[in-house]
Amino acid sequence: MAVFPRRRLAAVALAAATALLVTAGCGGGDEPGDGKITLTVDVFGQFGYEQLYQEYMAANPDVKIVERGTGTNLDEYSPKLTQWLAAGRGAGDVVAIEEGLLVEYKANPANFVNLLDHGAADLKGNFLEWKWNAGLTADGKQLIGLGTDVGGIAICYRKDLFEKAGLPTERDAVSKLWPTWPDYITTGERFTAAKTGASFLDGATNTFNTILLQTAGNTTGYSYYDTSGNLVVDSNPSVRQAWDTTMDIIDSGLSGKYGSWSEEWVSAFKQSKFATIACPAWMTGVIEANAGTDAQGKWDIARVPGNGGNWGGSHLAVPKQSKHQAEAIELAKFLTSAKGQIGAFKAKGPLPSSPQALDDPAITGATNAYFSGAPVGAIFGTGAKSLKPVYMGPKNQAVRTEVENAVRTVELGQRNPAQGWTDAVNNAKKAAAK
């Protein structure tokens, strides 16, 4: 027994030393010795920056870039980022913020460096006007983030499954199948009747959000909140219209009921369990990552039913807690420059928010081999400059979660559409009040 305390002491000492080492390693600061500055970039999903980092590090030998979070679901990413900001430490030097969450972060601008103080005003012309404005606080005095991508929408579909179902497979012919959402449903019914063993679409929530943002962009310009910040879930006709269309899709039995971003959703990609998916430009990278190389050339891209639409898109911000603000700002400027946006588009498909980049032949002529050589630049880029932004209110994410969950309960047969709508409205109001 006499040996035990000493051994335990050694164990405690070892644990403490390890903890120290680990904390030192996580500090994200400089590594003494090589004189390099380490810049940490926090992202979610697929941003496609790997190649750009290499270029930047080659041009700036004193900077080392570490990226965290590629492939992370936004729902896992945003609480982490918020905790880092609240704690005053832990966040990367450059952080990606999705448009739906930007409104919440903008409400507390003190957490971020004002990019206008660092010469960002000169860059205004490099961004679509609404994208630039989205990065500004309400009073227009602080720029929180520089725009990265916008989310032009299309429909990605499986050529092989369409062929099996006796439907056209060429992307122009497929686009002609569904000028409107009712036509999309009719096509889906034809597909379902052919019994290919796959569903027509992955799940209802993504489709619902696509229809909502398209409808809202084309009409009111806002979705769950009006531009004065009032919750209008139950009075905005765009929301109701998107809801009804989605209910029709569910009612026709077209959905595979795979919950977006769930493990089953990923499995369904791999096992070819659905034929179409609502496809904002950034989704092409997600599809490629989920479906894997086996499905290369089986996917293609067609027009979205209805008229255009915009879903998603992010900004890059520099938290005030960064120890290397100046360097981080330079990196953010580089990544959001026309050149940076073109590089990201080529790597993982997020559509540029820079008009110069959108006009660049590298974009307009771009094709994507994974999607059967589809002219992605033309498909997503056309109309990108005329995209109408949708205003997002202060608790947009919480409200969206409630409404999409209500969609999901109907999809899973737990609620009928009328009950689901009541849930959506009540729960959204409750979430907005929290």
Partner 1 sequence: MTVQLDARPPATPATGNPRQSSGRLSRFDTRFSPYLYIAPFFLIFGVFGAYPLAYTFWVSLHDWDLLGADHPFVGAENYTRLLADTDFWHALVNTLGIFVISTVPQLLAALWLANLLNRGLRARTGWRMAVLVPNVTSTAAVAIVFGVLFGREFGMINWLLDLVGLDAIEWKSNRLASWVAISAMVDWRWTGYNALILLAAMQAIPRDLYEAAAIDGASRVRQFWSVTVPLLKPTIIFCTIIATIGGLQLFTEPRMFHSGTNPIRGGPLRESQTLTMYMFENAFAPHYNFGYGSAVAWLLFALIAIVAAVNVLILRRLGGGARPNARKGTTR
- Smallest gap from Cβ 414 to partner 1, in A, equals 6
Phi-psi region of 60 (alpha: psi -120 to 50; beta: other; left: phi over 0): beta
Phi-psi region of 378 (alpha: psi -120 to 50; beta: other; left: phi over 0): alpha
- Nearest CA-CA partner of 145 in 115, 101, 181, 178: 115
- Binding span for partner 1 by CB under 8 A among 138-146, 159-167, 229-237, 402-410: 402-410
Which one among 264, 323, 355, 382 touches partner 1, defined by CB under 8 A?
A: 264
The secondary element (H helix, E strand) that includes residue 95 is strand 94-98
Residue 79 sits in the site that holds partner 1 (CB under 8 A) = yes
Which one among 34, 122, 263, 294 touches partner 1, defined by CB under 8 A?
A: 263
C-alpha–C-alpha distance, residues 354 and 358, integer Å: 6
Tally the residues of the chain. 434
Shorter beta-carbon distance to partner 1: residue 205 or 284: 205
Q: Which residues make Cβ contacts (< 8 Å) with residue 154, sequence separation at least 6?
A: 279, 280, 281, 301, 302, 303, 304, 379, 380
Could you tell me where the beta strands, DSSP code E, fall in 250-357? 274-280, 299-303, 314-317, 351-352
Site string for partner 1, 219-258 (x = CB under 8 A): --------------------------------------xx
Could you tell me where the beta strands, DSSP code E, fall in 349-412? 351-352
- Nearest CA-CA partner of 218 in 371, 390, 377, 339: 390
Residue 137 sits in the site that holds partner 1 (CB under 8 A) = no
Which one among 31, 75, 129, 251 touches partner 1, defined by CB under 8 A?
A: 75
Phi, psi (5° rounding) for residue 222?
-145, 160
- Binding span for partner 1 by CB under 8 A among 14-22, 48-56, 70-78, 328-336: 70-78
- Binding span for partner 1 by CB under 8 A among 42-50, 242-250, 261-269, 284-292: 261-269
Q: Which residues make Cβ contacts (< 8 Å) with residue 380, sequence separation at least 6?
A: 152, 154, 281, 351
Residues 266-305 that bind partner 1 (CB under 8 A): 267-268, 271, 273
- Smallest gap from Cβ 350 to partner 1, in A, equals 20
Site string for partner 1, 377-396 (x = CB under 8 A): ------------------x-
Q: Which residues make Cβ contacts (< 8 Å) with residue 320, sequence separation at least 6?
A: 110, 111, 112, 113
Which one among 145, 188, 259, 285 touches partner 1, defined by CB under 8 A?
A: 259
Residue 214 sits in the site that holds partner 1 (CB under 8 A) = no
Residues contributing to the site for partner 1 (CB under 8 A): 1, 73, 75, 78-79, 82-83, 85-86, 104-105, 107-108, 110-111, 205, 257-265, 267-268, 271, 273, 395, 397-398, 401, 404-406, 408-409, 412, 414, 430-431, 434
